[in-house]
């Protein structure tokens, strides 16, 4: 039961900071940092335990029951969960330390620590969930933390808007997720992983009538529908096309959370979910193909946008999008091990890149535009070298961790039929783009002439050690994670489900081609941004349409604005004025007015004069008599 | 013929103790009125706790029953009791009234005595509705409730209070008249008794059930309020003083859904089965339409009022899903809506006391000037969004689960409401909590003081308790809901096989008959 301490320690830190933050203020890190590092230590124990023995599955308490539904909160730690635990606690631990320096002197210091502690708790509970509802609960909880942290600097209009956007776009995804859970319960009668996975094969041919409410009949495969609905949730959380629009805007949040939440952990939850639910996905080829294609599209779209962005955090954000696409594609093609492997190495090098950006931003007094950088490598040597290591890993440079995991993905993809081969080719092309944009970033930020504001330029210096130490650790991890035998460690989790990886001639070929693509990308970036800096401008002018498409992020935001956002508000306003006030309430008031009107009419009958009444009586009596006689 | 379960008459105490408080207020000085009201409502709250502690969860029967003959002919009894459906609502009421007194502490400056009396009479009437086991007694409480509410809106309300009060009164009264007719019909066809339990056991012919169903519907749908009978609600909320809004949203709206559970489902199972699709459709419309209306509002109270329409749509959706998850989710959602929406109205009341405006554009950027207030506002707003870990999620999830079993498309459309709720609530939060602080209001803003904290902390406690550990609340309901569903099983066994196959059989055998009619060959 001590496993429960892994998430509970950060929760405790959150509670203390949440209630006492007002008094703790600048000492907030003294509460949060030890809590997270202790949880890291315990995660190591858990990792040792499951790597030598059986997976852990404990029930903490019964959350609710109703009819035949029983929901328990539990912890499930197998090898997959164990590596996720380590990823979350290591990155979170480093980000906590980094935050001490990055957020130093901020008024919201304690609030920030409280929220990242809450995030760490939620993320840990998410990866250890042993049932679908718990997964969903913490899935939304990490979304809440993300919302609160994106909006941390809520004085900025852009930050507020980005926070709301992130929550709502994720809600759209969660809508599918929720329906998927409902369908799991209707199909399996339980929401716990173990019995669902055990029965999955028997239910492979089960169908569900989606039109039952209308008395119609349209039977579709229950498992495929479950997988697709749950995947909608993953599309939202892991920022896959077409719900990717929130992630770049999320860069409005302070940089430490971009590293923790929007690169290393939360956004990978979608990939984790697909891998976790591999026993279901494997039974639905349709769902698998959809996962692979969506992943592949995201991979390409993210990379093409990253080429032209000028905000350094946005470049890294779009690269995250693209890398998440790689992972998702791998899972969709059955390469869960490769996908999760890339998830882990990416967690290290992408956190490094974000924290490196943060270090630069800090040194330049919150400047994020690369056009006002340049020549920083001598002033910020440590940041520079770690950033280069991160970029090499991202570009898949040989012998870095990113090289191994990306290679695994492409080799597995190649082995997965025609779709896999098409996607693998796209993956290789994207690898070229990736290498190009990551070194565009390196060259423009750190090389060449300084374009920094002269006032700021004099004061540039390497940030405090709490900021640089995490960079060094992550730089180490960006190399080392390639040599820890992670794929072999993960293999048993997906035993039987994994597409066989053939280490034959094709594998060597792909490795060589990918490596060459990476070199080509770096070389092109060198030519364009170091050798002849005028070239990018010329190319942009020459290929204006393409450049605009990339620079304006394929105009997806604009399209959504026109298609969903504006129409919703307009429709709401029209419905309210034209239907609710005019028609429905109009009818209500109309009825009331009709009564008043009738009362007003009948008032003339009540004249109070006896003659009129007598006349009325006589006329009435005559009429009745006539009627009586006639009939 | 005084039969009673013999124990201490806790229910009677809870129902009538507020009237003792009323007497005390009448006798005491005006300045003491609020203290007496607070004391009385707290004692009532304490007296309602034994109902919960002594409640036998495993029993579906009415508990703490008291039954005395009141009028011999026609046989009318003073009969009260609670089961797992009414207990949570009784506790919700007794819990909220002290908060309503507290929130009116300085907000109500004129006729304080009368105001407090109205609140306490309201408590008697509402608790009475939930515990009554005799139809006449029920109807008396049901109608009594209108008077203090009418006064709360009409006397202490905003500028357009008279219009809102009359609209509220006439609208709900019009519905209630048909309820009275239905009660009389039941009396004559159900064995000359007003005993609700006996009437629930009787079996009525399907045609009669259909008429009764719509008569009940008229009374209950207006109270819920269901689309399209909801337009009195925004007006009443906007004009009502804060305590009035809280009672209106938290307790009064529950009367309608309670009525469906207590009368429509057990007494009219055949009609329920027949008309369920209509109610489900109206519920889905209410969920989506209410949310859309909420987008369009610039007035905080109107926004929350329309969100109530949307949230109550989930309750009716759950009830008419006619399965355990749906109904338990619906009852829980009734409690949740009471807590969350009540709390949001309290929050609006608190800010109104400072800025004297309910417009969103006048109350922006409160996080800077009022951090504690902002935190509470955020908690209740997120609860309203249905965020997991908070109360509303549990209810909504169970309701959706129930609705999903009833119809996939229905639940899918209803789940859209979950997205829409995030849109209108977070858009409001973005402006009210995080927006640019409004300049001319900034000097009026000061953070919560102890009394306001005292009203919001218990509500926040319930938000998290029900969110993190809803089991105790749900356990109270299981036996009663199962018992309730047995009434429906009576029909379901007749209704078999399921809908779509039934319609298929209709097309084969009955089409032949129909074609026979068309050919003029009458059987």
pLDDT tens per residue across span B377-387: 999 999 999 99
- Is A15 near chain B, with CB under 8 Å? no
Band (A502; pLDDT cuts 50, 70, 90): low
| B79 φ, ψ (degrees, to nearest 5) | -130, 125
Band (B254; pLDDT cuts 50, 70, 90): very high
Band (B36; pLDDT cuts 50, 70, 90): very high
CA distance B450 to chain A (A): 16
Closest CA to A148 of A100, A109, A102, A115: A115
Helix axes A401-414, A505-526, angle to 10 degrees: 130
* pLDDT given at position B496: 41
HEC letters along A95-159:
HHHHHHHHCCCCCCHHHHHHHHHHHHHHHHHHHHCCEHHHHHHHHHHHHHHHHHHHCCCCCCHHH
Band (B521; pLDDT cuts 50, 70, 90): very low
Q: Up-side HSE of residue A83: CA atoms within 13 Å toward CB?
A: 27
Residue A97 pLDDT > 90? yes
Give me the residue from B230, B294, B471 closest to A64, CB to CB.
Answer: B471
Band (A500; pLDDT cuts 50, 70, 90): low
Q: Alpha-carbon distance A430 to A552, whole Å?
A: 19
* pLDDT given at position A448: 85
- Is A164 near chain B, with CB under 8 Å? yes
Which of B286, B324, B377, B408 has the highest number of chain A CBs within 10 A, making it the mutation to test binding with A? B408
pLDDT tens per residue across span B202-242: 889 999 999 999 999 999 999 999 988 999 999 999 999 99
Give me the residue from B323, B426, B434 closest to A167, CB to CB.
Answer: B426
CA distance B49 to chain A (A): 22
* B359 class by beta-carbon count within 10 Å (0-12 exposed, 13-18 middle, 19+ buried): middle
Phi-psi region of B56 (alpha: psi -120 to 50; beta: other; left: phi over 0): beta
- Across A235-239, average pLDDT: 94
Q: Contact at 8 Å (CB) between B361 and B444?
A: no
Residue A174 pLDDT > 60? yes
Share of chain B above pLDDT 70, in %: 92
Q: Alpha-carbon distance A10 to B240, whole Å?
A: 44
Q: Taking CB atoms and an 8 Å cutoff, what residues of chain B touch A570?
A: none
Band (B501; pLDDT cuts 50, 70, 90): very low
Q: Alpha-carbon distance B42 to B99, whole Å?
A: 9
Which residue is listed with tokens 């008032």? A603
Q: Alpha-carbon distance A327 to A299, whole Å?
A: 9
CB contact under 8 A, A160 and B296: no
Band (B507; pLDDT cuts 50, 70, 90): very low
Q: Contact at 8 Å (CB) between A333 and A292?
A: yes
Q: Taking CB atoms and an 8 Å cutoff, what residues of chain B touch A69?
A: 325, 398, 401
Give me the residue from B382, B430, B499 closest to A212, CB to CB.
Answer: B499
- Strands A56-66 and B76-82 come out as unpaired
- Is B388 near chain A, with CB under 8 Å? yes
Q: B79: which strand partners?
A: B67
Band (A246; pLDDT cuts 50, 70, 90): very high
Instruction: Provide the chain B residues 396-455 that lie in CB contact (below 8 A) with chain A.
Output: 397-398, 400-401, 404-412, 415-416, 418-419, 422-423, 426-427, 429-430, 433-436
Enumerate residues 6+ apart whose C-beta is below 8 A from B220. Answer: B175, B179, B255, B256, B257, B259, B260, B264
Mean residue pLDDT of chain B comes to 88
CB contact under 8 A, A572 and B295: yes
pLDDT tens per residue across span A225-234: 999 999 999 9
Q: Where are the domains of chain A?
A: 284-551, 557-630
* pLDDT given at position B495: 43
| B299 φ, ψ (degrees, to nearest 5) | -100, 125
Share of chain B above pLDDT 90, in %: 69
Closest CA to A179 of B518, B427, B409: B409
* pLDDT given at position A19: 87
* pLDDT given at position A501: 57
* pLDDT given at position A406: 93
ipTM here? 0.91
Q: Taking CB atoms and an 8 Å cutoff, what residues of chain A touch B468?
A: 63
Q: Contact at 8 Å (CB) between B222 and A584?
A: no
Instruction: Provide the chain B residues 191-250 that lie in CB contact (below 8 A) with chain A.
Output: 228, 230-232
* pLDDT given at position B491: 57
Top mean pLDDT of A42-56, A347-361, A498-512 is at A347-361
Mean residue pLDDT of chain A comes to 90
Closest CA to A22 of A105, A103, A111: A111
Alpha carbon of A153 to those of A49, A107, A150, A204: distances in Å? 41, 10, 8, 49
Residue B346 pLDDT > 50? yes
Q: Taking CB atoms and an 8 Å cutoff, what residues of chain B touch A211?
A: 408-409
pLDDT tens per residue across span A538-568: 888 888 888 888 888 888 888 888 888 888 8
Give me the residue from B228, B292, B422 closest to A168, CB to CB.
Answer: B422
Q: B68: which strand partners?
A: B78
Q: Where are the domains of chain B?
A: 3-518
Phi-psi region of A334 (alpha: psi -120 to 50; beta: other; left: phi over 0): left
Alpha carbon of A120 to those of A11, A14, A91, A117, A466: distances in Å? 8, 10, 10, 5, 20
Closest CA to B303 of B255, B233, B351: B233
Q: Alpha-carbon distance B461 to B484, whole Å?
A: 30
Q: Alpha-carbon distance A265 to A317, whole Å?
A: 13
Enumerate residues 6+ apart whose C-beta is below 8 A from B304. Answer: B237, B249, B294, B341, B344, B345, B348
- Across A350-372, average pLDDT: 91
**DSSP string across B427-438:** HHHHHHTTSPPP
Closest CA to B291 of B431, B425, B412, B432: B425
Residue B37 pLDDT > 50? yes
- Is B393 near chain A, with CB under 8 Å? yes
- Is A213 near chain B, with CB under 8 Å? yes
* pLDDT given at position B1: 37
């Amino acid at each position: 039961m001590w496993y429960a301490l892994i998430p509970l320690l950060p929760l405790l830190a959150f509670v203390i900071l949440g209630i006492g933050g007002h008094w703790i203020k600048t000492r907030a890190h003294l509460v949060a940092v030890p809590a997270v590092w202790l949880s890291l230590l315990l995660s190591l124990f858990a990792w040792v335990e499951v790597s030598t023995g059986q997976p852990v599955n404990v029930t903490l308490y019964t959350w609710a029951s109703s009819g035949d539904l029983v929901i328990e909160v539990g912890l499930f730690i197998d090898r997959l969960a164990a590596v996720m635990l380590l990823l979350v606690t290591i990155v979170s631990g480093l980000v906590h330390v980094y935050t001490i320096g990055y957020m130093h002197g901020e008024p919201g210091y304690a609030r920030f620590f409280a929220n990242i502690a809450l995030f760490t708790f939620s993320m840990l509970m998410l990866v250890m969930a042993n049932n679908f509802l718990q997964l969903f609960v913490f899935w939304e909880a990490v979304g809440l933390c993300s919302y609160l942290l994106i909006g941390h600097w809520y004085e900025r209009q852009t930050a507020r808007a980005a926070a709301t956007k992130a929550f709502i776009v994720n809600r759209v995804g969660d809508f599918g997720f929720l329906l998927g859970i409902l369908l799991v319960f209707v199909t399996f009668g339980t929401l716990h992983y173990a019995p669902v996975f055990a029965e999955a094969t028997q239910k492979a041919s089960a169908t569900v009538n989606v039109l039952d409410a209308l008395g119609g009949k349209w039977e579709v495969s229950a498992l495929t529908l479950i997988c697709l609905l749950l995947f909608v949730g993953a599309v939202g959380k892991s920022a896959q096309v077409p719900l990717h629009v929130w992630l770049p805007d999320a860069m409005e949040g302070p940089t430490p959370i971009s590293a923790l939440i929007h690169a290393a952990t939360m956004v990978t939850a979608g990939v984790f979910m697909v891998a976790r639910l591999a026993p279901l996905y494997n039974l639905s080829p349709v769902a698998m193909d959809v996962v692979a294609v969506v992943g592949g599209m995201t991979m390409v779209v993210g990379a093409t946008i990253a080429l032209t962005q000028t905000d350094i955090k946005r470049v890294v954000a779009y690269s995250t999008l693209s890398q998440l696409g790689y992972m998702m594609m791998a899972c969709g093609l059955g390469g869960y091990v490769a996908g999760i492997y890339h998830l882990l190495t990416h967690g290290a090098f992408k956190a490094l890149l974000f924290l490196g950006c943060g270090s630069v931003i800090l040194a330049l007094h919150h400047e994020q535009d690369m056009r006002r950088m340049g020549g920083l490598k001598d002033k910020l040597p440590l940041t520079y070298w770690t950033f280069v290591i991160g970029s090499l890993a991202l570009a898949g440079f040989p012998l870095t961790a990113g090289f191994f995991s990306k290679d695994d993905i492409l080799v597995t993809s190649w082995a997965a039929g025609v779709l896999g081969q098409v996607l693998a080719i796209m993956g290789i092309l994207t690898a070229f783009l990736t290498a190009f944009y990551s070194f565009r970033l390196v060259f423009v930020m750190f090389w060449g002439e300084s374009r920094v504001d002269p006032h700021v330029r004099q004061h540039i210096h390497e940030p405090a050690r709490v900021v640089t130490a995490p960079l060094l650790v992550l730089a180490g991890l960006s190399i080392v994670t390639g040599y820890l035998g992670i794929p072999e460690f993960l293999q048993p989790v997906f035993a039987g489900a994994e597409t066989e990886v053939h280490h034959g001639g094709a594998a060597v070929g792909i490795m060589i081609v990918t490596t060459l693509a990476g070199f080509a990308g770096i070389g092109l970036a060198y030519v364009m941004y170091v050798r002849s800096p005028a070239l990018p401008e010329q190319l942009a002018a020459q290929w204006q349409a393409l450049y605009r498409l990339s620079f304006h992020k394929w105009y997806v935001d604009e399209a959504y604005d026109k298609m969903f956002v504006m129409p919703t508000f307009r429709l709401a306003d029209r419905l309210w004025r034209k239907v609710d006030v005019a028609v429905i309430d109009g009818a209500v008031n109309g009825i009331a007015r009709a009564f008043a009107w009738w009362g007003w009419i009948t008032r003339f009958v009540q004249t109070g004069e006896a003659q009129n009444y007598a006349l009325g009586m006589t006329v009435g009596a005559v009429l009745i008599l006539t009627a009586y006689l006639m009939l | 013929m005084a039969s009673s379960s013999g124990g201490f008459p806790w229910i009677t105490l809870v129902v009538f103790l507020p009237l003792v408080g009323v007497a005390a207020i009448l006798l005491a000085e005006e300045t003491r009125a609020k203290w007496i009201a607070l004391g009385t409502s707290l004692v009532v709250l304490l007296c309602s706790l034994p109902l919960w502690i002594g409640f036998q969860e495993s029993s579906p029967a009415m508990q703490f029953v008291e039954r005395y003959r009141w009028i011999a002919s026609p046989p009318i009894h003073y009969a009260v009791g609670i089961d797992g459906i009414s207990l949570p609502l009784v506790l919700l009421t007794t819990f909220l009234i002290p908060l309503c007194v507290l929130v009116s502490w300085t907000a109500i400056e004129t006729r304080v005595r009368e105001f407090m009396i109205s609140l306490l009479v309201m408590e008697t009437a509402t608790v009475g509705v939930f515990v009554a086991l005799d139809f006449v007694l029920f109807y008396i409480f049901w109608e009594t409730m209108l008077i203090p509410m009418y006064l709360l809106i009409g006397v202490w309300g905003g500028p357009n209070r008279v219009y809102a009060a009359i609209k509220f009164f006439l609208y709900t009264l019009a519905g209630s008249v048909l309820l009275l007719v239905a009660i009389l019909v039941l009396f004559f066809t159900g064995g000359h008794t007003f005993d609700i339990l006996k009437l629930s056991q009787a079996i009525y012919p399907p045609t009669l059930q259909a008429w009764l169903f719509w008569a009940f519907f008229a009374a209950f749908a207006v109270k819920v309020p269901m689309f399209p009978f909801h337009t009195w609600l925004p007006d009443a909320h906007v004009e009502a003083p804060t305590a009035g809004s809280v009672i209106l949203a938290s307790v009064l709206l529950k009367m309608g859904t309670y009525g469906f559970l207590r009368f429509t489902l057990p007494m009219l199972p055949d009609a329920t089965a027949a008309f369920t699709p209509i109610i489900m459709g109206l519920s889905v419309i209410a969920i989506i339409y209410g949310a859309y209306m909420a987008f369009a509002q610039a007035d905080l109270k109107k926004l929350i009022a329309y969100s109530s329409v949307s949230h109550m749509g989930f309750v009716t959706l759950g009830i008419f899903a006619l399965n355990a998850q749906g109904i338990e989710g619906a009852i829980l959602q009734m409690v949740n809506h009471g807590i969350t929406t009540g709390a949001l109205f309290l929050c609006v009341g608190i800010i109104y006391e400072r800025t004297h405006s309910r417009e969103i554009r006048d109350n922006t950027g409160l996080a800077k000037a009022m951090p504690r207030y902002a935190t509470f506002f955020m908690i209740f707003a997120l609860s309203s969004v249905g965020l997991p870990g908070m109360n509303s999620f549990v209810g909504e999830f169970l309701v959706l689960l129930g609705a999903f079993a009833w119809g996939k498309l229905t639940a899918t459309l209803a789940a859209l409401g979950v997205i829409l709720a995030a849109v209108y609530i977070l858009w409001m939060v973005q402006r009210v909590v995080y927006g640019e602080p409004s300049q001319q209001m900034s000097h009026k803003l000061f953070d919560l003081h102890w009394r306001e904290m005292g009203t919001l902390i218990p509500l926040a406690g319930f938000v998290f308790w029900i969110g993190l550990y809803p089991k105790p609340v749900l356990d109270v309901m299981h036996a009663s809901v199962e018992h309730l569903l047995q009434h429906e099983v009576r029909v379901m066994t007749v209704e078999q096989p399921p809908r779509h196959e039934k319609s298929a059989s209709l097309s084969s055998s009955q089409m032949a008959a129909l074609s026979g009619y068309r050919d003029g060959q009458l059987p």
